[in-house]
Structure 1
């Protein structure tokens, strides 16, 4: 009887541990994709290669710029310089796609 009680208690403790570990894992992933604070200074446009919005589940709306070296910076989307950078980066991206598609079409024709 004591052995059965000990096994049940051990099983209960193991299930509680795995449940709490799973919750912490989900929180870590969410926290990693959300911006806690914004970069304090303007970033150089020529170093930026891409931009994306953080998840709508994040407590703070933010954009994330990625540099040529792969570094990421959280920025405030309401800043004028950020909006200007986004427009220019998206323009670059659209131009590159259009150029690539026209060169592919010219090659296959």
Structure 2
């Protein structure tokens, strides 16, 4: 009976650990933000808070531009103003 209790307790502990660890592992493996629709206009540089590249596993290379109003906008990787904003941000930070 004691062996059965220990075995059940061990299995329960492992199951709980897996349930806690699994979402964190999946979160790290999956792309944080991929773009599927792209903004075709221009965001004024004064309104840009940050510019990030999409994850390398995303289907399309793009930038995610965050505005002063906390809006996240997808912009194609080839768009000149987005490239310049990204370079400017990385020169200041780097």
- TM-score range normalised by the length of the shorter chain: 0.5 to 0.7
Asked whether the equivalents of residues 49 and 66 of structure 2 are also in contact (C-alpha less than 8 Å), the reply is yes
Cα distance in 1 for residues equivalent to 2:13 and 2:65: 42
- Displacement after TM superposition at 1:90 (Å): 4.5
Where relative contact order (Cα < 8 A, 6+ residues apart) is larger, the structure is 2
- Displacement after TM superposition at 1:59 (Å): 3.4
Cα distance in 1 for residues equivalent to 2:83 and 2:68: 18
Task: Please identify the structure whose Cα radius of gyration is greater.
Answer: 1
Structure 1 residue 45 corresponds to structure 2 residue 57:
no
Asked whether the equivalents of residues 51 and 89 of structure 1 are also in contact (C-alpha less than 8 Å), the reply is yes
When residues 87 and 63 of structure 1 are mapped into structure 2, their CA distance, relative to the original with a 3 A threshold, is: closer
Runs of at least 5 residues in structure 2 that lack an aligned partner in the other structure: none
Number of residue equivalences: 88
Asked whether the equivalents of residues 39 and 75 of structure 2 are also in contact (C-alpha less than 8 Å), the reply is no
Normalized per residue, the structure richer in strand is: 2
Normalized per residue, the structure richer in helix is: 1
Cα distance in 1 for residues equivalent to 2:72 and 2:28: 16
Runs of at least 5 residues in structure 1 that lack an aligned partner in the other structure: 98-109
Cα distance in 2 for residues equivalent to 1:63 and 1:76: 6
TM-score of the superposed pair, with normalisation by structure 2: 0.63
